[in-house]
Amino acid sequence: MTEPTDLDKVRAAALERMERAERSGLRVQEHGGRRTFVSTNAGYRLELHPPRDWIDELLSESTTLRLTELHLKSDDPEGKARALADVLDCERIGADVEIGETLVRFTPGGPQGRPELEAEMFT
């Protein structure tokens, strides 16, 4: 039996997240097999991307470029962080969510509903 590829792991993780969302009673919307969204209870939705060439290329360059922090302005930082952590089954501390080696920080002062990109840090 062969080892799973990174692409296989990404597909398995996306499927696991969709199943987790459905078990949690969140609405999962699939649009033509190309785009899948999970509606959170915090007024926004997450898009689960299917495998794409550019994503694979970016992942293959992860030794040279990595997203270490993402700051999102929102109307309810802790609520948005809780929703993201629940869907992705990640650790949350206040308005911060750790996704692998990346920190997603929700900050106050954003629009109602969908968070707005405030800052990103790559290393």
The pLDDT profile of the chain, 123 residues, written as one tens digit per residue, is 677 776 677 677 777 877 888 888 878 887 766 677 888 878 878 777 666 666 667 667 667 777 889 999 999 999 999 999 988 888 999 999 999 889 999 999 998 888 998 988 887
Give 116-119 contacts, CB < 8 A, sequence gap 24+. Answer: 116/72, 116/73, 116/74, 117/70, 117/71, 117/72, 117/73, 118/71, 118/72, 118/73, 119/69, 119/70, 119/71
Residue ranges covered by each domain of the chain = 6-122
Look at residue 92 in the predicted model and tell me its pLDDT: 96
Ordered strands of the 96-99 beta sheet: 91-93, 96-99, 102-108, 67-74, 116-122
